[in-house]
Amino acid sequence: MTANLVPLMIIAMVDDLGVSQTVAGAVLTGSLLACALVCLATTRWAAGQFRRRLGRAGLVVMAAGFAAAAVVPSAPIACIATVVGGLGAGGAVAVGGAAMAAFTNPNRVSGLSGLVNRVAVTGVLALIPILGTRMTNAFGIVAVLALATALTMTWLPTAPDLGADTTRTRAELPEGVTRRRVTVAGASLLVLFAVWAIGEDSLWAVSGIMGFEHAGLTEQQMGLALSASTAGGIGIALILTALGSRLGRTVPVAVLLALGAALKLGACLTTEPTTYLVLIITWNTVYAAAFIYVVAIAAALDSSGRWSAPLLGTYLVGSAFAPLFGTLVTEAVGYPSFGVIVAGISLVLLLPITAIASLSARTEATSLAVGQDPTVRYTTSVIV
């Protein structure tokens, strides 16, 4: 939520606190990095028996931080409180990611998560300008949402207790696959996802200025592109939630990464406004689908949430550096060459992510075939 509200939060901080755009941007970057680092640091707890406590504590700290930022008129206190809110959010993000791995259909759960995210973000983005882009609204709404969500922690599935049952843990692995291989695959996916975040979000960061300077878009057309991109994310999340595991994960994620590379390159090469508009909207829709599939891959690798818990944290680490990467590269080599670079990132990541997707499908199938304890995997209907 915070990452999506950054443009509005910057406006609120500048208008209400009197800080510069640079300071506001730095504070929000610090909040996002704090979220990412705490997410990575609390992965073990999120995947273990302290899941609900961590989630509740993280959301309460998040609510307190953003509430203080919303109501305290002092710039230093509000800035510190914003970073504190990010610290709390990190624990909540880890818990949410870990809990998704407990369900029997990671594709559907990931799609449902993406759907709820897009709908909530769209609603809040529409509501804040109506109420007024002030600290009380931009930060207060997030605080209320965090506090309300803290009350739902008892709904989360508990983490499986596999520590003492090493026989069952080995039995859940496919033949010829070692626990070490799964660990390497999971750790590699985290790194690859961070790199992918830099490529995707760097294009998003410069898409506005590139649209104006390179493709000749008007301000109204760029607003249409952003709105339609959000709608595309909602649409693809609905489709993937309905499809569930019917398409698998290996082939779809490979196709989406390749298609995303082509769309990014095309957007950076075109100088025609309508073509740019279509390419940016289509790319954002493909991006949303690929994101959902990668989350599902991480969730399917380990039912405890060992890899899905830190996934968003690693993404946020890459995302935090994306604006700097995008502006530096475009200024140095221009938009067409930038397109070649970001498209190349997707193509380089295609093979390893596809291989990990194939492994996740095998581990999930074996896990279900051996008849896991019902506390390990829940049916998707539990959260629907």
What gap in Å lies between CA 138 and CA 134, rounded to an integer?
6
Least confident of 86-95, 328-337, 362-371: 362-371
- 188 and 126 share one domain: no
256 and 236, same domain (yes or no): yes
Name the pLDDT band for 127 (thresholds 50, 70, 90).
Answer: confident
* Average pLDDT rounded to a whole number, residues 20-27: 83
CATH number of the domain bearing residue 267: 1.20.1250.20
pLDDT (0 to 100) of residue 171: 41
Which has the higher per-residue pLDDT, 131 or 69?
Answer: 69
* Tokens 């610090």 belong to residue: 30
Same domain, 141 and 231: no
**Residues 81, 197 within the same domain:** no
pTM to 2 decimal places: 0.76
Residue 268 lies in a domain: yes
Residue 109 included in any domain: no
Judge whether 75 and 187 are in contact, CB under 8 Å.
Answer: no
Q: Is residue 164 part of a domain?
A: no
Q: How many domains does the chain have?
A: 2
Task: Classify residue 384: in a domain, yes or no.
Answer: no
Same domain flag for 150 and 274: no
Q: Is the domain of 119 the same as that of 260?
A: no
79 lies in which domain range?
Answer: 2-104+115-158
Predicted confidence at residue 381, as pLDDT, reads 36
Question: Do 35 and 86 reside in the same domain of the chain?
Answer: yes
| Dihedral sign for Cα atoms in the order 106, 110, 111, 116 | positive
In a domain, 204, yes or no: yes
Cβ partners under 8 Å of residue 243, min gap 6: 107, 108, 111
Residues 285 and 248 in one domain: yes
Give the C-alpha separation, 300 to 361, whole Å: 7
Higher pLDDT pick, 11 / 384: 11
Tell me: pLDDT of 336 over 90: yes
**Domain co-membership, 227 together with 150:** no
Rounded Cα distance, 371 and 293, in Å: 25
Residue 376 lies in a domain: no
151 and 176 inside one domain:
no
Q: Which of 82-86, 96-100, 124-128, 199-203 has the highest mean pLDDT?
A: 82-86
For the segment 80-91, what is each residue's pLDDT rounded down to a tens digit? 999 999 999 999
- Mean pLDDT in residue range 207-213: 81
Would residue 375 count as lying in a domain?
Answer: no
Between residues 36 and 207, which one has the greater pLDDT?
36
Co-location of 191 and 125 in the same domain: no
CATH number at residue 25: 1.20.1250
Choose the weakest-confidence range: 24-28, 83-87, 158-162, 274-278: 158-162
Contact 114, 240 (CB under 8 A): yes
Position 256 confidence tier, pLDDT thresholds 50, 70, 90: very high
372-382 pLDDT, tens digit each:
443 344 444 33
pLDDT in tens, 167-195: 334 446 666 678 888 899 999 999 999 99
pLDDT of residue 202: 87
* pLDDT for position 113: 82
Q: Are residues 146 and 177 in the same domain?
A: no
> Does position 38 have pLDDT exceeding 70, yes or no?
yes
| 149 lies in some domain | yes
